[in-house]
Amino acid sequence: MSGVMCCRSILFSVFLLLSLLPCRTLADTAGEEGGSSRLDAISDFWNEHFSSTGWIELVQSMRTYAPHDEVTSRVHGRLEVSGTAGTFNGFLSLDAEKNWTIPALDGLSVREAWLEHVGSGWDIRVGRQLIIWGKADGVRITDNVCPTDFSDYLNRNIDEMRIPVTAAKLRFLSNTLITEFIWIPEFKSAKLATGNNPWALERSFSSALPVRTNSAGEPSSWSLEDSEFALRVSSYMAGFDVSLSAFYTWDDTAASSVSVRDISGGRREIVMEQDYHRILIYGFDFAKPWSDFVFRGEAAYFQGRYLSTSTGGNEKHDVLKYLVGVDWSPGGNWSVTAQLLDEFIMNYDRGLVAEEHSPQATLNVSKNFFNEQLTVSDMVYVSLNDGEFFNRLQAAYELADGMELTIGWDKFYGDDGSYGVYRRNSQIWGKLRFSF
């Protein structure tokens, strides 16, 4: 972690802060420069109808393997503005990022922008939004509405790995039931890490033949035929939460098939075809508190998923993903979360790349010290088929209200499985976050 890196991160974060703060401080400034009734009026209007918040974080890491360079080096800021007028609510979330290890993430972007109307016993939210389902912690079972962004993979919290969707969400609310209809007219695919990205997985071909990729193209946006639809019914009762869902969607990741073809002049080439396919996902989740525990569970049945075969093609199978978990609050500022999950391929064929069962376990243990000023936690994901794991040990210290310093150690263990493949991305890191 060189001094130059730190300096440039700090300078850039100051620049970001200066860019984002004016919106936040508009009202205060208007008040301070007072004397002007117009400014006071703007200030009053802002305070009555709007609120804003945001954060800026600097992250710098050092690989624990030679050449001990950085896996992560970024400054990331977010500004969120909420507005309310009568029965209408609005929300705008803006992102700004400078990333020195993954330049593709540089730039300004609108993360969320939606408008909500609240009726009597119903509400509707329209626009770019995050829709998150399920009860699992750090893994996604029924939570499939928003595609995944793998660009910076495990460097981000799972909350930051979801790609917001353009959707209309209509909810009918009663004392015991929430019925939710979702229409997503614009298709978004998962984002994969590519090129020089440290999280990119190279697909190697043993042949010296040239490789050509044929993408069938994404489903069309704003057509009813290619739209995605979801229905979810949830109930939050005394002592028990439960949800049932159905999601008619596109698999966010294209299915690939590889073949060798003849081209002109007697030469041959490898052709990789990529197609997006429709799937139907049925979901179920529950949470049940008991004493110091909360028991949680989720299951998702994927109907018609295309899975890769070892010969380069793909096959259509149904897949069941399920999870059971428990949160334990034993007191003394301890908190423990344990989960077991599995991905089970129906009508399994030995020619598939994936195994019939892919069981995993997760464990998160944390403890607060000094009236929650310091939090030390350890989180581990273990792949039970091959014993590979990812472990994150971290300590977060609140320097002052809204300012937190976190240091951590990420360790990937294994060979070429789900976690071992990233073993050279094991790193120590530091994060300074300023919330405003």
Partner 1 sequence: MSCSIRGMLAVLALMFIITPSLARAEELTGTDVITKMRLRPDGDDRKGTVSMTLVNRRGAKRVRVMEQIAKDYGMDRKAIIVFKEPADVRGTKFLSWTYDAPGRDDDKWLYIPSMKKVRRISGSANNDFFMGSDFTYDDIDMGRRNVSKDTHTYLGEDMRGVYECWKVESIPVDKDDPVRRRVLWVDKKTCIPVYLEYYTDQGLSRVYEVLELQQQQGFWNVKSARMRNLETEHQTLMEFSPFVYDIGVDDNLFQVAVLQRG
Under rule CB under 8 A, which residues in 72-111 are in contact with partner 1?
A: 82, 84, 89-91
Nearest Cα to 81, choosing from 70, 89, 72? 89
Stretch that binds partner 1, among 58-66, 201-209, 364-372, 386-394 (CB under 8 A): 364-372
Size of the site for partner 1 (CB under 8 A): 53
Residue of the chain from 292, 349, 415, 416 that contacts partner 1 (CB under 8 A): 292
Q: Which long-range contacts (CB under 8 A, 24 or more apart) does 208-212 make?
A: 209/260, 209/268, 209/269, 209/270, 210/269, 210/270, 211/269, 211/270, 211/271, 211/272, 212/269, 212/270, 212/271, 212/272
Q: What are phi and psi of 175, to 5 degrees?
A: -60, -30
Residue of the chain from 66, 159, 204, 224 that contacts partner 1 (CB under 8 A): 159
Residue 223 near residue 282 (C-beta atoms within 8 A): no
Longest alpha-carbon distance in the chain: 84
How many Cβ atoms are within 10 Å of 71's Cβ, its own excluded? 26
Would you count residue 370 as binding partner 1 (CB under 8 A)? yes
Would you count residue 366 as binding partner 1 (CB under 8 A)? no
Residue of the chain from 4, 67, 175, 202 that contacts partner 1 (CB under 8 A): 175
Closest separation in Å from C-beta 47 to partner 1 = 13
Residue 186 near residue 246 (C-beta atoms within 8 A): no
Nearer to partner 1, 146 or 271 (CB): 146
User: Buried (b) or exposed (e) across 354-367, using 16+ Cβ within 10 A?
Assistant: eeeebebebebebe
Would you count residue 25 as binding partner 1 (CB under 8 A)? no
Nearer to partner 1, 3 or 331 (CB): 331
Residue of the chain from 53, 253, 274, 406 that contacts partner 1 (CB under 8 A): 53
Three-class secondary structure assignment of 322-378 = EEEEEEEEEECCEEEEEEEEEEEECCCCCCECCCCECCEEEEEEEEEECCCCEEEEE
Nearer to partner 1, 175 or 204 (CB): 175
Query: In whole angstroms, how large is the CA radius of gyration of the chain?
Result: 24
Would you count residue 241 as binding partner 1 (CB under 8 A)? yes
Residue of the chain from 106, 236, 353, 387 that contacts partner 1 (CB under 8 A): 236
Would you count residue 208 as binding partner 1 (CB under 8 A)? no
Stretch that binds partner 1, among 254-262, 291-299, 383-391, 414-422 (CB under 8 A): 291-299
Closest separation in Å from C-beta 291 to partner 1 = 5
Residue of the chain from 204, 291, 310, 347 that contacts partner 1 (CB under 8 A): 291
**Which tokens hold the place of 335?**
């908190």
Per DSSP, the residues of 251-311 read -SS-EEEEEEEE-GGG-EEEEEEEE--EEEEEEEEEEEEETTEEEEEEEEEEEEEEEEBTT
Would you count residue 47 as binding partner 1 (CB under 8 A)? no
Stretch that binds partner 1, among 39-47, 260-268, 271-279, 394-402 (CB under 8 A): 394-402
Would you count residue 253 as binding partner 1 (CB under 8 A)? no
Stretch that binds partner 1, among 33-41, 127-135, 262-270, 304-312 (CB under 8 A): 127-135
Residue of the chain from 290, 310, 347, 350 that contacts partner 1 (CB under 8 A): 290
C-alpha 319 chain-centroid distance: 21
DSSP symbol at 162: B
List contacts with partner 1 (CB under 8 A).
53-55, 82, 84, 89-91, 114, 116, 118, 123, 125, 130-132, 134-135, 157, 159, 171, 173, 175, 178, 236, 238-239, 241, 287, 289-294, 296, 327, 329, 331, 333, 368, 370-373, 398, 400-402, 404, 433, 435-436
